[in-house]
Amino acid sequence: MPKLAFSLTDIQIKQLKLKPFQKKGLGRGLYIVGKKDGSKFWLFRYKKLDGKENTLSFGAYPEVSLKLAEKRTLEANELIERGVDPSSSKKTSLAIQKEIYSSTFKVIAEEMIGVHFKHLSPSYRQRSLRRLELYVFGWIGDKPISAITPKDLLEVFKRIENANKSPTVKKTREVINLVFKHALLTGHIKFNPCDALRGVIKIAKPKHMAALTEPDDVRQLMRAIDGYKGSYSVCCALKIAPMVFVRPFELRTAKWKDIDLKKAEWSYLVSKTKTMHLVPLARQVLEILKDLKKLTGSGEFVFPNGHDEQKAMSESAINAALKRMGYDTQKEITGHGFRAMARTILHERLEFDRDIIEHQLAHRVPDALGEAYNRTRFIKQRKEMMQTWADYLDDLKSKK
């Protein structure tokens, strides 16, 4: 169809004075119509297939420009020539657009999290949604989920991988896969594009924190810690760290109000899982804490900062001490590595049950009945284990 030549320019329409409901034709059924408040709107008049006249609003001027009104007129006339009523076509188009919006990847993802994550922790839901917001929504969030291809997903994963965040690829892929599974169950798609990428994206193995797990190496480490010459507070933290094997953040920010020396217990909120955790304190740990309390007991933190007692010990203090002792914190041992050291030896050499060890590590591993972490579960066995572990470390130091 040749382009139409409409009779008025945009400047003429802007200057046009129209009485309420007065119409000015521009050609091919397009009119500019005056309103009571002095504004104008577009009207398209045409004859339906049954010969009756009908009208279709194209919106207000200037929100709908002359150029857009012309475009809609051309499209409407094309429909009429094909025997299609433009009014019913518009309604169908709006319905399709509404359906498309309600089935975009972002909408389905938020729906999936609301349905399937409602029994999980708020922090887990928040982390999952945050990954989608950071790495996915900006690229495929507004796409209809049925239109997303394996190639689209490959580009998403490659983008994360190229940002040197390979471990994030796995977690992001897991939540994306759940979105598509939900879309399958709700009838939005017939094929999960994630399936086509199995084996294509290679997930790099996570880099584990350096740790010593051989008895001879641990013996040398414990002797080095006993011989370390530094501030008294750091020396005490170094001696306690292997025996309690908590996360470095929890150790350096330990507060006296959370430690009950009479009950030999340390109870605190785990920073990672936001759950309360209980650490039974071995006799050796209690001896160190009782002496340390004479020095730092009047303050909030068990291990205060050397420059400001109102703050906790520096996050680099333990690793810095290990380095001064001659250890490579990238390859041999790090503050976080005491956890892996205890975990390995407690199971492989002292033969403690993995569930007891995992519980003491404050890992959120559900039990056989699906119950979440309980801070007092296995408490009798854990008290025994923590004392056995402290005794084992003492015995190692005494052996030649």
Q: Average pLDDT for residues 123-142, to the nearest whole number?
A: 87
What pLDDT does residue 125 have?
83
SS3 at position 154: helix
Q: Average pLDDT for residues 21-27, to the nearest whole number?
A: 88
User: How far apart, in whole angstroms, are the C-alpha atoms of residue 329 and residue 21?
Assistant: 81
Comparison of pLDDT for 136 and 199, the residue scoring more:
136
What pLDDT does residue 250 have?
93
Sheet holding 23-27, edge to edge: 23-27, 30-34, 40-47, 53-61
52-108: pLDDT as tens digits: 888 888 888 888 888 888 888 888 887 777 777 777 665 545 544 455 556 889 989
Is pLDDT above 50 for 222? yes
User: How far apart, in whole angstroms, are the C-alpha atoms of residue 227 and residue 236?
Assistant: 12
Q: Average pLDDT for residues 367-381, to the nearest whole number?
A: 62
Beta carbons of 18 and 41 less than 8 angstroms apart: no
Q: Which CATH superfamily is domain 105-197 in?
A: Tyrosine recombinase, N-terminal domain (1.10.150.130)
User: How far apart, in whole angstroms, are the C-alpha atoms of residue 55 and residue 87?
Assistant: 8
Per cent of the chain over pLDDT 90 is: 36
Comparison of pLDDT for 134 and 119, the residue scoring more:
134
Per cent of the chain over pLDDT 70 is: 87
Is pLDDT above 70 for 197? yes
Q: Average pLDDT for residues 117-125, to the nearest whole number?
A: 78
Q: Which of 48-52, 120-124, 209-213, 300-304 has the highest mean pLDDT?
A: 300-304
Entry pTM: 0.51
Q: Average pLDDT for residues 149-161, to the nearest whole number?
A: 88
Cβ neighbours of 140 (radius 10 Å)? 22
SS3 annotation, 79-129:
HHHCCCCHHHHHHHHHHHHHHHHHCEHHHHHHHHHHHHCCCCCHHHHHHHH
Is pLDDT above 60 for 369? no
Domain boundaries 10-85, corresponding CATH code: 3.30.160.390
* Dihedral, CA of residue 117, residue 122, residue 124 and residue 126, to nearest 10: 100
Place of tokens 């004075």: 17
**Residues paired with residue 57 on neighbouring β-strands, in sequence order:** 43
Beta carbons of 357 and 349 less than 8 angstroms apart: no
Contacts of 49 (CB under 8 A, 6+ apart): 83, 85
Contacts of 323 (CB under 8 A, 6+ apart): 329
Q: Average pLDDT for residues 216-222, to the nearest whole number?
A: 91
User: How far apart, in whole angstroms, are the C-alpha atoms of residue 177 and residue 354?
Assistant: 30
Helix 379-398 with 337-348: angle, nearest 10 deg: 100
Contacts of 69 (CB under 8 A, 6+ apart): 26, 30, 42, 58, 59, 61
352-361: pLDDT as tens digits: 988 899 889 9
> Positive or negative, the Cα torsion across 91, 93, 96, 102?
negative
Is pLDDT above 60 for 326? yes
Contacts of 72 (CB under 8 A, 6+ apart): 42, 44, 58, 64
In CATH terms, the fold of domain 215-398 is: hpI Integrase; Chain A (1.10.443)
What pLDDT does residue 274 have?
77
Where in the chain are the domains? 10-85, 105-197, 215-398
SS3 at position 332: coil
Residue 299: both structure tokens together: 């303050």
**Start-end of H helices in the chain:** 10-15, 66-81, 86-102, 105-116, 122-135, 137-140, 150-162, 166-185, 215-226, 232-244, 248-252, 283-296, 317-324, 337-348, 354-360, 379-398
Cβ-based burial of 117 (10 A; exposed 0-12, middle 13-18, buried ≥19) = middle
User: How far apart, in whole angstroms, are the C-alpha atoms of residue 241 and residue 295?
Assistant: 19
Q: Which of 117-121, 212-216, 233-237 has the highest mean pLDDT?
A: 233-237
What pLDDT does residue 75 have?
80
